[in-house]
Amino acid sequence: MRSKGLGFFAALLIAGTTSAIAQNQPRGQPQPPPAKAGPYKVVAITPPQAINDPAFEALRRQMGEAAQRKDRAGLAKLVVGQGFFWVRETGDRADKRRSGVDNLVAALGLNNKDGAGWDMLASFADDPTGSPSPEHKGALCAPADPSFDGKAFNDLMQTTKTDVSEWGYPVSADVEVRAAPQANAPVVEKLSLAFVRVMPEGGPNVPTFLRVVTPAGKIGYVSADSVAPVGNDQICYVKDATGWKIGGYVGGGDSQ
């Protein structure tokens, strides 16, 4: 099972990156209203698989400990000294004159006291999945996205007038959707392994529940760590003679 800990949606809410539409609007211009909630077509997913490697699990555990303590020195021991890559839309943004940890700190915004960088690092550490990087041979990036029908998902976004930032998928089957953001609220439905629309409610606190719309059109709440996003930032790992290291990052930067 893929555990998200604090949850990527929660961390992204703090970072202010949950809405790609809002980011692309000119400043001073009114934001378009969100698409109306309603029933939509089921697009099934196959969850990503965990990497079953004790050494990899040990690295993730050390990452989590460093994130909890906000320990930059401890984190530096887990990052490659040279060759760190930082992939963004504009290409590799890594500063080759700086160390790997310096580039990771910049990518996650760990120097931003009000940012979500350390929380995001903790969420990365919680995730046991990984998939090969298409650009960097030998690197595995996490969280790995699920397998799904790309055309069907694109059609779904067009039909609902949404974008990828508004969708997630259950990390396991039968995630309970509750009538209110409370653990003891009545269950109104259970999610199958398929995309689910997420409609985050903004606020100053880290949410423990996410508001979702099920394919049947029901609005309810799920635990924030039970639904993962797709197509968001990834941390990448490489393995050499000394073992697993953090070797790169995909995404991140200004919004952190």
pLDDT tens for 50-69 read: 999 999 999 999 999 999 99
Q: Say if 95 falls within a structural domain.
A: yes
Radius of gyration of the chain (CA): 18
Q: Say if 104 falls within a structural domain.
A: yes
Residue 169: φ, ψ to 5°: -145, 150
Distance CA(240)–CA(193), nearest Å, equals 35
Of residues 242 and 90, more confidently modeled: 242
Q: Say if 58 falls within a structural domain.
A: yes
What share of residues in the chain are helix, strand, coil (percent, to 5)? Answer: 25, 25, 50
Q: What is the dihedral of CA 129, 162, 18, 185, to 10 degrees?
A: -80
Q: Say if 162 falls within a structural domain.
A: yes
Q: Say if 185 falls within a structural domain.
A: yes
8 Å CB contact between 172 and 226? yes
What's the mean pLDDT in 108-132?
A: 92
Give the domain extent around 45. 1-15+41-256
What's the mean pLDDT in 251-255?
A: 65
CA–CA–CA angle 124, 61, 145 (5° rounding) = 30
Q: Give the closest residue to 255 by CA, choosing from 124, 133, 114.
A: 114
Q: Say if 183 falls within a structural domain.
A: yes
| 245: three-class secondary structure by DSSP | strand
Q: How many domains does the structure of the chain reveal?
A: 1
pLDDT of 3 > 50? The answer is: no
Distance CA(37)–CA(213), nearest Å, equals 7
pLDDT averaged over every residue in the chain: 85
Alpha helices in 16-163 (DSSP H): 20-23, 54-69, 72-76, 100-108, 117-126, 150-160
Q: Which residues contact 172 (CB under 8 A, 6 or more apart)?
A: 1, 2, 47, 226
| 118: three-class secondary structure by DSSP | helix
Q: Which residues contact 114 (CB under 8 A, 6 or more apart)?
A: none
Q: Say if 72 falls within a structural domain.
A: yes
pLDDT band for position 16 (cuts 50, 70, 90): very low
8 Å CB contact between 84 and 93? no
What's the mean pLDDT in 130-153?
A: 93
